[in-house]
Amino acid sequence: MVALCASFCESILLSMLLLRSALAAEHLSAAATATAQCQTSCGGVEIPYPFGILSDSCPTEPVFEVFCNDTGNGVYKPFIGNIDLLSVDVQLAQARVMNRISSSCYNTSSQRMNFERWRMNLTGSPYRFSDSANKFTVIGCRTLAYIADQDYVGKYMSGCVSVCRRGELTGVTDGICSGKGCCQTAIPKGLDFYKMWFEESMNTSGIYNKTPCSYVVLMEASNFTFSTTYLTSPLKFNDTYGGKAPVVLDWSIPTAENCVEAKINFTSYACKSDNSVCLNSTNGSPGYICNCSEGYQGNPYLHGPNGCQGVVASVLAGFFGFLGWEVIRHKQRNKKQALLRQTDEFFQQHGGLLLLEMMKADGNVGFTLYKKGEIENATNNFNKTHIIGEGGQGTVYRAVIEGVAIAIKKCKEIDESRKMEFVQELVILCRVNHPNIVKLLGCCLHFEAPMLVYEFVKNKTLQELLDLKRSRRFHVTLGTRLRIAAESAMALSHLHSLPHPILHGDVKPANILLAEGMVAKVSDFGCSTIDEKTQAVLKGTPGYIDPEYLLEYQLTAKNDVYSFGVILVELLTGKRPLSKESKTLTSLFQEAMADGTLIDILDSDIVEEACMRVIHRAAALASQCLVVPGMTRPSMAGVAAELQQLALADEVQRCPQPQLVLEDLNIMEMGSTVSMWYDESKTRGAYSLENKAVLSIEFAR
Ligand SMILES: *[C@@H]1O[C@H](CO)[C@@H](O)[C@H](O)[C@H]1NC(C)=O
Ligand SMILES: *[C@@H]1O[C@H](CO)[C@@H](O)[C@H](O)[C@H]1NC(C)=O
Ligand SMILES: *[C@@H]1O[C@H](CO)[C@@H](O)[C@H](O)[C@H]1NC(C)=O
Ligand SMILES: *[C@@H]1O[C@H](CO)[C@@H](O)[C@H](O)[C@H]1NC(C)=O
Ligand SMILES: *[C@@H]1O[C@H](CO)[C@@H](O)[C@H](O)[C@H]1NC(C)=O
Ligand SMILES: *[C@@H]1O[C@H](CO)[C@@H](O)[C@H](O)[C@H]1NC(C)=O
Ligand SMILES: *[C@@H]1O[C@H](CO)[C@@H](O)[C@H](O)[C@H]1NC(C)=O
Ligand SMILES: *[C@@H]1O[C@H](CO)[C@@H](O)[C@H](O)[C@H]1NC(C)=O
Ligand SMILES: *[C@@H]1O[C@H](CO)[C@@H](O)[C@H](O)[C@H]1NC(C)=O
Ligand SMILES: *[C@@H]1O[C@H](CO)[C@@H](O)[C@H](O)[C@H]1NC(C)=O
Ligand SMILES: *[C@@H]1O[C@H](CO)[C@@H](O)[C@H](O)[C@H]1NC(C)=O
Ligand SMILES: *[C@@H]1O[C@H](CO)[C@@H](O)[C@H](O)[C@H]1NC(C)=O
């Protein structure tokens, strides 16, 4: 199969996982007694009920059918559809299966890239990719790989980028997968389909004699440990895994939507064991799972002796329990003391003393050094409920200290050698006082990772505004768009113009907050300064990231100009930056500009005869921001000046704009109702889907 495909190959692994749900329910009760005659293992793999292998002696149909096929020479192996089954876990309601590794290798004879791409379709089956156990994993030295749902437009799309600075392996480390030679990103809940593709402009043709191959696979995170040999010997990764890596699937009984419904019909209710409980499926699929009640072990789907049985609870257990408790208490005491010692170490490491000195010398200007306890108290010990965003450089918590609402950003840990520099930059940052930049109020250096404290901007982000616009729930006039663009440009221009310029590095709509009156405030820099020079971690977001930066791996002011250009195009067209496979919005836009067909891709909401002059000028400006090479792009100051002019142009003010608000929605109340599931601009970390920033596509983890 693989040999047959020339340069591109895509296969559906699992397309026909048909579930005869009506039948399945009927047979559940019968199966509980029929298991005795049924084969319960295949090729050394246990096949516990409700999974089962059909045969003449076991004609009853299980909910989850497993094939036990001869793979040649009498070696039997279990399969779900045509996927290799590794194991089934009834307690966790998970199955481990094999997923194909996709690759992109430079072919020296054809001088082209050879792609092998795989996807997996679980639609219509009771399986979902486990969001907690799997990671989208990318290996390569010049690789950007995308992952998407089947209908990714408006739904899920993400990417991961992996590069080696100038193709060299310096800084690439065994066991560390953080964007250098290796990248991993989490997937959202409920994913039942995944496809992937490579960004073709990021290819290994320039480094083929060192690392000709890139690999991509959605796989079990715990099964993967990065090794630098995966880069030094081109076929090593593929060979180590034999072309397939394990991926974990969550399954659930699909015959009822949830436990409440399942219990209505006791005949079809799957939790047959006496001491079992029903749990709603937690991974986005309708359905339920069974588990043994606390203190019981066994198979909750079976009656009788194989069902849930009481664990031998005895005096002995109690005795060991007591011992264990004492050991734990002792350990906790030690841990607490160690922590106290550490706190001060961290403070010193992060240059707290230096900062204090500088503040004294400076007669300090409203910069606060927060105490550890204050931060912990205010965030309820970094309780999840306080999280308001999770971005490339850290997690953001909402808190109130002394009656003032603040946002606390927990940076990623920083490099020893960079700590002094970080502190110096903090001092610069806290002097930044601009109406369109989120104000840095202070910091706390008593933690392993530095904490930055910002003013709290309650209102939404430009990303959310654009999403509302796209779902036609909110109308945004041309004037507002240009004003937001102008304000953001002024903010970036200000950062670039400081005596010690600050480069943002991750300019995107999700990082432009809209405060009261929809005033734009640029956020999410600060921690960024930590990495900017050493480029320990690659920053940016697919769709907004400057392709030049990916090649050079060296952040410049022109990279911010490029990202800003993408935002401008987004504001003019209303389209998402990554909307079509292998054709980004920027290339679509640049082609339209070249062909004179701009009007075809403009957002119809803003197209007005009277405004076309302004729109054309804004489009020309965006086009200049996107040109390659970056050296020829305008400066952020130039962009800001032009946009200010355009935003204030008379015709924009007069331009007739439909006050279209289809639903009576207040943008400020939209937080929980906006569909969180789409995304091209986010992903990372724990995907609690409750906020947008969490979905922020992440590069380089
Ligand atoms: C309950 O489920 C059984 C087995 O699927 C089915 O035969 C029966 O009709 C169902 N009863 C009701 C009330 O839906
Ligand atoms: C296993 O056998 C079943 C039934 O003969 C067939 O439908 C299925 O495709 C086979 N799977 C594999 C991977 O060979
Ligand atoms: C089922 O119960 C076991 C033991 O109490 C627990 O470890 C497991 O996480 C539970 N499974 C689910 C899916 O909650
Ligand atoms: C490289 O390309 C040539 C010519 O297209 C082809 O015959 C050959 O099979 C390719 N090599 C690999 C390893 O795919
Ligand atoms: C995935 O499978 C479902 C159900 O079999 C089918 O409707 C859908 O078209 C498949 N998707 C793709 C992209 O093949
Ligand atoms: C590799 O990417 C460059 C642009 O970065 C492009 O010019 C070149 O054609 C690509 N080469 C292959 C083999 O795809
Ligand atoms: C990864 O999974 C495979 C298949 O189950 C197993 O053989 C291998 O030992 C695992 N490797 C690690 C490092 O967990
Ligand atoms: C990876 O391994 C599989 C199975 O051995 C093979 O079919 C595939 O061609 C290999 N891919 C590459 C890029 O060598
Ligand atoms: C399952 O979901 C239903 C409907 O959302 C809800 O009413 C019920 O309380 C849930 N049950 C459990 C055990 O979580
Ligand atoms: C935390 O807050 C509580 C009540 O608001 C207060 O009593 C306590 O002193 C605070 N602790 C610290 C360390 O600030
Ligand atoms: C987080 O806060 C919520 C609500 O205030 C509380 O129910 C929960 O127990 C807290 N979680 C932790 C881990 O402290
Ligand atoms: C958010 O914006 C709305 C409308 O512009 C305004 O009424 C509200 O006061 C703002 N809230 C905050 C906290 O800025």
- Atom 11 (ligand 3) nearest CA: 92
Q: Measuring CA to CA, which residue among 252, 188, 248 is closest to residue 217?
A: 248
d(CA 564, CA 484): 12
Do 521 and 637 reside in the same domain of the chain? Answer: yes
pLDDT per position as a tens digit, 389-434: 776 567 888 999 888 888 888 876 665 555 666 666 676 677 788 9
Cβ(10) – ligand 10 distance below 6 Å: no
Confidence band of 153 (pLDDT split at 50, 70, 90): very low
| Amino acid, res. 379 | T
Confidence band of 370 (pLDDT split at 50, 70, 90): confident
C-alpha 243 to ligand 8 mean position (Å): 5
Do 510 and 645 reside in the same domain of the chain? Answer: yes
Q: pLDDT value at position 279?
A: 95
Question: Does 338 fall in a domain?
Answer: no
Q: pLDDT value at position 695?
A: 21
d(CA 303, CA 273): 5
Number of domains in the chain: 5
**Claim: this prediction has a pTM higher than 0.75:** no
C-alpha 44 to ligand 8 mean position (Å): 26
pLDDT per position as a tens digit, 622-639: 999 999 889 999 999 999
Question: Does 696 fall in a domain?
Answer: no
Confidence band of 589 (pLDDT split at 50, 70, 90): very high
Q: pLDDT value at position 17?
A: 35
Q: pLDDT value at position 431?
A: 73
Label residue 159 left, alpha or beta by phi (over 0 means left) and psi (-120 to 50 means alpha).
Answer: beta
d(CA 203, CA 244): 23
Do 446 and 476 reside in the same domain of the chain? Answer: no
Catalytic member of 131, 149, 250, 506: 506
Do 370 and 383 reside in the same domain of the chain? Answer: yes
Q: Specify whether the CB–CB gap between 344 and 445 falls below 8 A.
A: no
C-alpha 4 to ligand 4 mean position (Å): 11
Q: Specify whether the CB–CB gap between 89 and 45 falls below 8 A.
A: no
265 Cα nearest atom in ligand 1: 1
Q: Measuring CA to CA, which residue among 512, 517, 513 is closest to residue 544?
A: 512
Using most ligand atoms within 8 A of CB, pick from 104, 141, 200 the residue to mutate for ligand 6: 200
Higher pLDDT, 141 or 693: 141
Which residues have CB under 6 Å of ligand 11?
Answer: 380-381, 383, 385
| Amino acid, res. 50 | P
Q: What is the mean pLDDT of residues 54-73?
A: 82
Using most ligand atoms within 8 A of CB, pick from 27, 263, 266, 267 the residue to mutate for ligand 1: 267
Question: Does 509 fall in a domain?
Answer: yes
pLDDT per position as a tens digit, 22-31: 223 233 333 4
Centre a 10 Å sphere on the Cβ of residue 281 and count the other Cβ atoms it contains: 22
C-alpha 428 to ligand 11 mean position (Å): 36
DSSP 531-554: HHTT-SS----TTTS-HHHHHH--
pLDDT per position as a tens digit, 504-522: 888 999 889 998 888 999 9
- Does the pLDDT of residue 94 top 70, yes or no? yes
Question: Does 224 fall in a domain?
Answer: yes
C-alpha 100 to ligand 4 mean position (Å): 21
Q: What is the mean pLDDT of residues 68-92?
A: 91
**DSSP single-letter state for residue 496:** H
User: Any idea how long the chain is?
Assistant: 701
Centre a 10 Å sphere on the Cβ of residue 613 and count the other Cβ atoms it contains: 13
Do 488 and 576 reside in the same domain of the chain? Answer: yes
Report CA torsion sign: 42, 44, 50, 51. negative
Ligand nearest to the CA of 521: 12
User: In this structure, what CATH number is given to the domain that contains residue 435?
Assistant: 3.30.200.20
Ligand nearest to the CA of 234: 8
d(CA 426, CA 412): 15
Mean pLDDT lowest among 164-173, 381-390, 412-421, 610-619: 412-421
- Helix (H) or strand (E) run with residue 128 in it: strand 127-129
- Atom 14 (ligand 1) nearest CA: 265
Q: pLDDT value at position 462?
A: 92
Confidence band of 536 (pLDDT split at 50, 70, 90): very low
The proportion of the chain whose per-residue pLDDT surpasses 70, expressed as a percent, equals: 72
Q: What is the mean pLDDT of residues 78-102?
A: 94
Domain final residue, candidates 265, 297, 312: 312
Q: Tokens at residue 343, please?
A: 């706190």
Confidence band of 682 (pLDDT split at 50, 70, 90): very low
Instruction: Give strand pairing partners of 139.
Output: 182, 215
Cβ(73) – ligand 4 distance below 6 Å: no
- Does the pLDDT of residue 187 top 90, yes or no? no
Do 441 and 378 reside in the same domain of the chain? Answer: yes
pLDDT per position as a tens digit, 208-254: 888 999 999 999 999 999 999 999 999 999 999 999 999 999 999 98
**DSSP single-letter state for residue 193:** E
Q: pLDDT value at position 481?
A: 93
Residue 135 phi/psi, 5-degree rounding, is -140, 145
Instruction: Calculate the average pLDDT of the chain.
Output: 77
Confidence band of 343 (pLDDT split at 50, 70, 90): low
Q: What is the mean pLDDT of residues 346-375?
A: 64
Is residue 250 annotated as part of the catalytic site, yes or no?
A: no
Burial class (CB in 10 A: 0-12, 13-18, 19+), 69: middle
Domain final residue, candidates 429, 456, 483: 456
pLDDT per position as a tens digit, 190-206: 888 888 888 777 789 88
Looking at mean pLDDT, say which of 41-55, 393-407, 431-445, 483-497 comes out highest. 483-497
Q: What is the mean pLDDT of residues 73-90?
A: 92
Q: What is the mean pLDDT of residues 474-499?
A: 90
Which residues have CB under 6 Å of ligand 12?
Answer: 458-459, 515-517, 668
Q: Determine the angle formed by the axes of helices 612-625 and 557-573, rounding to 10 degrees.
A: 150
Question: Does 374 fall in a domain?
Answer: yes
Cβ(380) – ligand 10 distance below 6 Å: no
d(CA 150, CA 171): 36
215 Cα nearest atom in ligand 8: 13
Q: Tokens at residue 153, please?
A: 């437009």
Burial class (CB in 10 A: 0-12, 13-18, 19+), 55: exposed
Could you give the C-alpha distances from 111 to 105, 114, 206, in angstroms and in order?
10, 9, 11
Q: Specify whether the CB–CB gap between 316 and 308 falls below 8 A.
A: no
356 SS3 class = helix
Do 216 and 102 reside in the same domain of the chain? Answer: yes
pLDDT per position as a tens digit, 320-336: 444 455 555 555 555 55
pLDDT per position as a tens digit, 298-312: 999 998 888 998 776
Mean pLDDT lowest among 69-73, 144-148, 227-231, 337-341: 337-341
**DSSP single-letter state for residue 241:** T
Do 466 and 585 reside in the same domain of the chain? Answer: yes
- Does the pLDDT of residue 567 top 90, yes or no? yes
Do 40 and 80 reside in the same domain of the chain? Answer: yes
Q: pLDDT value at position 366?
A: 62
C-alpha 452 to ligand 10 mean position (Å): 20
Q: pLDDT value at position 30?
A: 37
Q: pLDDT value at position 58?
A: 76
- Atom 13 (ligand 4) nearest CA: 107
Residue 520 phi/psi, 5-degree rounding, is -75, 135
Using most ligand atoms within 8 A of CB, pick from 377, 381, 401 the residue to mutate for ligand 10: 377
Q: pLDDT value at position 63?
A: 75
Question: Does 410 fall in a domain?
Answer: yes
The pairs formed by 319-328 with CB atoms below 8 angstroms and a separation of 24 or more are: none
d(CA 237, CA 229): 8
Burial state string for 548-581 with b = 16 or more CB within 10 A and e = fewer than 16: bbbebbebbbbbbbbbbbbbbbbbbbbbbbbbee
Question: Does 187 fall in a domain?
Answer: yes
Report CA torsion sign: 463, 464, 468, 474. negative
Do 162 and 43 reside in the same domain of the chain? Answer: no
Looking at mean pLDDT, say which of 282-286, 370-374, 559-563 comes out highest. 559-563
C-alpha 265 to ligand 4 mean position (Å): 59
Residue 254 phi/psi, 5-degree rounding, is -90, 5
d(CA 179, CA 140): 9
Q: What is the domain range of residue 6?
A: 1-86
Domain final residue, candidates 86, 120, 138: 86
Do 552 and 642 reside in the same domain of the chain? Answer: yes
Do 534 and 644 reside in the same domain of the chain? Answer: yes
Q: What is the mean pLDDT of residues 337-356?
A: 57
Could you give the C-alpha distances from 640 to 313, 353, 461, in angstroms and in order?
72, 38, 20
The proportion of the chain whose per-residue pLDDT surpasses 90, expressed as a percent, equals: 33
Question: Does 397 fall in a domain?
Answer: yes
